[in-house]
Structure 1
């Protein structure tokens, strides 16, 4: 039987993996939009680490009108027919929890993404480089055509 090396420190002894919000696959897999939104709301509320009454209060502060906890609970329940969160309240939920998944999960299949503002300039720079490359390619094509007719 091999003996353990007692001189080497265990670098991972006190390490715990970071909490990563996954689960979008489950949400996106549901065929009903209202149910997907409810699942995303429930997941966001579960992962934010705050009691629902605090989240409801933060949403109310954002909106300037009351958001009852019972209504928030209904939004998070896929079984509550006719209780789908409005866009305004979904935005307030994102503002209260700092979690864009309720919006992002529905936009992703449409080819759109929710990006933090701090990354927006990088996205725009990439788009500008792509546009510049396309214009350079187009200019070369036009020059080649011009040379053939001159």
Structure 2
């Protein structure tokens, strides 16, 4: 699991989670109740009906965390993980804490950097093959 329910209670916080994850057929769950559930604290002071809705909300949050984890694991297993580590974005633990958006943003940025490097190499190779004044000027520009 890339993020715990307690970490989510901290950030983005129970209020935002309650607004986003309460099943639509119910009134938004009390943020304090959801916060207590996410932290495995006592909820006996709340009415049973509210606790039931909060439990459904907690289950929805956990399901989304699991789904996001599966997406991240699939992405990392295919290609992103090794690419990001090799590019210096951190170790497995740090990369594992990135959001889906961050993973994709960093991965796409690294692919762009690699494509630019390949294009520059191709230009360099073409200049070297062609020779002449253009190649000399290009080499001087590279050595500045």
TM-score (norm 1): 0.29
TM-score (norm 2): 0.30
Q: Greater relative contact order (Cα 8 A, min sep 6): structure 1 or 2?
A: 1
Greater helix share, structure number: 2
